Structure 1
Amino acid sequence: MTSTVHPPVSESPSGVPEFPMERAAGCPFDPPPTATAKQKEAPLARVRLWDGSTPWLVTRYAEQRALLADPRVSADITRPGYPNGAPLPPGGGSISFILMDDPEHARLRRMVTAPFAIKRVQALRPAIQKIVDELIDTMLAGPKPVDLVDAFALPMPSLVICELLGVPYSDHDFFQDNSKTIINRDTEPERRVAAMQALNTYLDELLAKKLAAPTEDLLSGLAERVRGGELTRQEAAQMGVLLLIAGHETTANMIALGTLALLEHPDQLALLRDNDDPKLVASAVEELLRYLNIVHNGRRRVALEDIEIAGRTVRAGEGLIMANDIANRDPDAFPEPDRLDLTRDARHHIAFGFGIHQCLGQPLARLELQTVYSTLYRRIPTLQLATGIDRIPFKHDGSVYGVYELPITW
């Protein structure tokens, strides 16, 4: 697809807010006030990044869905004009297929689609329930207060993704520490590269073991594709890194942040705790995904051609940032969007993205969250914060939002 690249439009620094934007003090669940104000003004607005570039911030739900599904926009992080959140490391910094376009994106993605199919994931329900119950048993038998992140929210999805991939959970400190380094926005480029290389090496060594002695897991399936010439070892290792990071970071943060949000909305917590209707539990998961938004820095794209949308022209080569936190608070898509309502039909949210790049692991994430939200508060009905919310350390510095710690007691 050919196009003429236009330089970004120059605007006065005073009229263009910096992105990412700061959340308001005391409002940790809400989008930044500046972003909300921009949404009220127009569907598209200029923002300024760390490098001085001024991509478009797409503020509203309808326009975000339209652009995320538009083949004229690219997810390729190496294209000129792509609105990178930090300097690119040597080699481009791509984490497998999520930052690629079709056909290469589709070729790689379909190799790991089957394990995340809904029926395959639903078969994991008893195993996930067992993990949740055992972690709760351990918490109840131990001292209190306890950090819910360390004792439950982080190990729960880590155990699941390790079992699915064929990664030893005994290595969790190693891969969790490197994951935190990679997704922290303030990490120096050299440290980010080193963390990525460490995880790539680790997954490559695991693939070598699977090639020699395959087992029933996803990495063994990738190793078989390497053996058959469908994948290179490097491609397979990069896919393993992507699945390992995405498979525990996002769900862990949703568990902890969702628990905090429910504790701050006791009427909604009581509704969920005192009702065993699976439909309500599923509805609660969708509403919390809409309300909280773990993807912190928006989904980034670059226009391949001139695109007319919302009365504006996005020129070829201009960056686009789809900030799903404000899209999921768009009153045209969700009435009373700032109210947490677990009975709301929020299934059309875009917390998992939209279009060909929407989250591959969303069936697994939904099942994990349904299991947690239907179990944790019922088994610990007196669950409460062990400190004030003003003392909770929020992850304002990362591409994945959540809390670093959540002290709880009962």
Structure 2
Amino acid sequence: MVNGETRPGDIAVTGVGLITAPGTGAEDFWQGMCAARPEVTEDPVLTGLPVNSSCRPEKFDPEQLLGGRLSRRLDRFTQLALAAADQALLDARLDASQWRAPRVGVVLGVGSNSIERYGEQFRLLDEGRAAHVSPRALPRSVPNMAAGEVAMRVNAQGPNFVTSSACASGATAIGVARDLLRAGTCDVVLTGGSESVRTAMTAACFAQLGVLSDGSRGPVGCRPFDRDRTGFVLGEGAAVLVLETLEHARNRRAPVRARLCGYGASTDAYHPTSPHPEGRGAEAAVLGALADAGLVPADIHHVNAHGTATRAGDLIEAAMIGRVFAAAPPVTASKAMTGHCMGASAAIEAVVTVLTLQHQTIPPVAGTTCVDPQADLNVVLDVPRAVPMRTALSTSFGFGGQNAALVFSV
């Protein structure tokens, strides 16, 4: 996409589905994001831990949406993926019974395997009761089951796999899905990410790393780029996008929410958990996405930042944005509302970016009141900001130095 014109490599986003703390489904989610009231509450799963709060979709009822038998068979991250995929297909007006199943792929991002049920199984082993370990513990928890179960539910017989690049997983999945469409391998790909990290082990590990908001300043929690930020809040959720070739979308007269026109990825090759201090890998991913889209920095009208509210991460990302963009575009950071959903975060933020372009309005960074003077950014605060936009960038970074960036256009 160059100067608002469609390029042959652009991919149509025809449907989105979400299960998140701010809301379920595109419209409910969008209203929640714009309301900027973080749903951070004490979490009974985390009782007794140094940090015991989370952002979670408390109204999500898997038995109601998926049926009791299916929902009991699945771990939480797969339940979330199926519910989001159902929404996305409905939003895209796609009937799975009518499509060419071998031409439909599923690529989802999952940051890690689920440990939701493993605790109880390990206890059985410790007690010498190996014969009581559930045979379902393994197949329900391996990451690829999110994509596999979606394929079984909707009869998608094309390429099917999960990408795992830590907190960039969802963006990596979207980029790979785009490649399958560009290569002519698929006509339609369901892509995005799903994750539930509301477990005692995950919370304890992140608390030990010192990156979780401890709630010392009230229930606001994650405040990206704020002078007094204290870290992020654990979240859970899923987002699925329906991507199609423009030709396929046009042939079935599908409404197009936005176009995916650029993807870039890189690796810091620097440290297991810390980003490169100069953000060079992040910068390479952003510049790669711009080049892929045929754009220059001045063409980007908005940035949805990774924004984890960690001291090092925020400042490194802010400096990178400052280097790339001579005139700082308005910036938001979705984790203030959604919590940090790990492998699902980048997919959720991609949907935020799509909806931002559609509504020509940028949701504010909830809870952030005083931008750190060291983060010289044009951060959207307090209320949504109406801005004429044609293109927007979403950035995502993760452990292992994983970097991914997506460019969307309308």
**Which has the larger strand fraction?**
2
Q: TM-score, normalised by structure 1?
A: 0.25
The structure that has the greater radius of gyration is 1
Higher helix share: 1
